[in-house]
Amino acid sequence: MSSTVGNQFRVTTFGESHGPAMGVVIDGVPAGLMLSPEDISFELQFRKTGNYLVSGRRETDEPEIISGLYNGKTTGAPIAIIFRNVDAISSLYSQVSHKPRPGHSDLPLIKKYGRENWDYRGSGRSSARETVSRVAAGAVAKKLLMYTSTYVSGYLKSIGPLEGSHCTDPLLSLNSKKFQTRALDRETDKKYTDLIKTTMKEGDSYGGVAEVFAIKPPEGLGEPVFHKIKAELGMALLSIPAVTGFEYGMGFKASRMKGSEAADEIIKSDEGELELRKNMAGGMLGGFTTGDDICIRCAFKPTSSIRIPARTVDLDTLEPAEISVTGRHDPVVAVRGVSVAEAMMAVVLADYSRIAGIIPHARLSESESDLIEERWKEYTGKCQ
């Protein structure tokens, strides 16, 4: 079960970085949802490798939907999608085969499963390559959430010491899809680009922070007491490779505030609805969604595979050694991590929308399917 997430919208990923293919099985999608490889590819373009600011590995990431569709619509059966690995170069990992990399999962995997069973090629199952399956599942979840008029979108809030523009309106985060660095605007994109280029020349890497929003989510999602929506989102986001921290709303800043400062007034809107004045809690209170926009942030550590030599131990001799990793790796993994964080938020919200009975369990009517398709086209248009 360690490769499965979700209850009624269930996502299982499989495959290794240098195996024949990566893949995902998505169970719990009602029949009648219009779905195409192009829908999946739209989201995948934002985590794509092969350009000069991210990993040089050139995978096509062409989705093959091999189950769960008929005449362009979901059937209610599990949706299975595979991605053929076409650019794996295992020879780049000859050193790694006997020199575990500091900061990676190499040493824990050796201790847990034994060196003889350790797939060191591209980190095997622990590789960020696995996230192609998550983003594919996120594409399906995002489209299904259009039933509730919910958008999920994020941007790169910071890289290392460089803070980007602050997102004053969650809808503005859609602008980040226009920039390769996932910055909010052209000025920040240039600053991020310059920093990444400098970091690459130095053979080093930087961490970063992604901020992700769910715009107009359903209210009341989450279950007491151990399946609060914040706990589910925390688990999902922290399962992403390289993520080291999670917060929502005020986050850790709340620990430095007084109760009088952190209290968010309850008011009555012009429409007569009760709501929070500032949404300081990031769309979640008591473990339930309030209906306000959800705001979460996750911190990505610097990529551990860098050219700068690091101390390790040679497994063949058990003598001290050094390793300099010269393969194809992201100088700032958070750049592509934004789309993965979006995907995991969408998966959780789709799951709990199903649990709450907001999204139909068995099938969508033709009019519901058409409405989702209309909203999906509106969403993709805003991202271009």
Per residue in 197-232, pLDDT (tens digit) is 999 999 999 999 999 999 999 999 999 999 999 999
The answer, yes or no, to whether residue 1 has pLDDT greater than 80, is no
Better-predicted residue by pLDDT, 51 or 164: 164
* Gyration radius of the chain's alpha carbons: 21
Buried b / exposed e along 36-59 (16+ C-beta atoms within 10 A): eeebbbbbbebbbbeeebbbebeb
Residue 270 has a pLDDT of: 87
- CB within 8 Å of 296: residues ≥ 6 apart: 211, 212, 233, 237, 246, 247, 248, 282, 341, 345
| Distance between CA atoms of residues 235 and 288, nearest Å | 16
Section 326-350 average pLDDT = 93
| Percent of the chain clearing pLDDT 90 (strictly above) | 82
Residue 297 — pLDDT band, cuts 50, 70, 90?
Answer: very high
Residue 318 — pLDDT band, cuts 50, 70, 90?
Answer: very high
Better-predicted residue by pLDDT, 347 or 307: 347
**Model confidence pLDDT, tens digit, residues 45-54:** 999 886 778 8
Residue 111 has a pLDDT of: 95
Mean pLDDT (the chain, rounded): 94
Residue 57 has a pLDDT of: 76
Residue 89 has a pLDDT of: 82
The SS3 call for residue 282 is coil
CATH 3.60.150.10 fits 4-382, yes or no: yes
Omega before 225 cis (within 30°)?
yes
| Percent of the chain clearing pLDDT 70 (strictly above) | 99
Residue 56 has a pLDDT of: 75
Element (H, E) at 345: helix 334-355
Residue with structure tokens 């929506």?
229
pTM: 0.95
**Model confidence pLDDT, tens digit, residues 83-133:** 999 987 887 788 889 999 998 999 999 999 999 999 988 788 888 899 999
